[in-house]
């Protein structure tokens, strides 16, 4: 994930989850430790408009 990418994390009910994001240089890192166990959807939108989605399982 690049520092310029927009990241949205949604819980299983489709609600947006607020996470801390640390950006350094051309890298962005999400703080996932605050998430409760469950399934999440991660949507990354690049600066050029390309959208990538994936599922994230937290145990």
Domain housing 22? 6-58
33 belongs to a structural domain: yes
HEC secondary structure over 4-31: CCEEEEEECCCCEECCCEEEECCEEEEC
pLDDT in tens, 17-57: 999 988 888 888 889 998 999 999 999 999 899 999 999 99
Split at pLDDT 50, 70, 90, the class of 13 is: very high
Residue 1 domain-assigned (yes or no): no
Residue whose C-alpha is closest to residue 13's, from 30, 33, 36, 32: 36
Would you say residue 41 lies in a domain?
Answer: yes
User: What's the token pair of residue 21?
Assistant: 């994001």
Specify the number of domains making up the chain.
1
11 within a domain of the structure (yes/no): yes
Give the C-alpha separation, 40 to 33, whole Å: 13
């Amino acid at each position: 994930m690049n520092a310029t990418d927009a990241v949205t994390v949604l819980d299983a009910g489709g609600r947006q989850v607020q996470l801390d994001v640390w950006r350094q240089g051309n890298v962005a890192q999400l703080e996932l430790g605050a998430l409760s166990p469950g399934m999440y959807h991660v949507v990354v939108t690049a600066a050029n408009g390309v959208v990538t989605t994936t599922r994230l399982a937290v145990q």
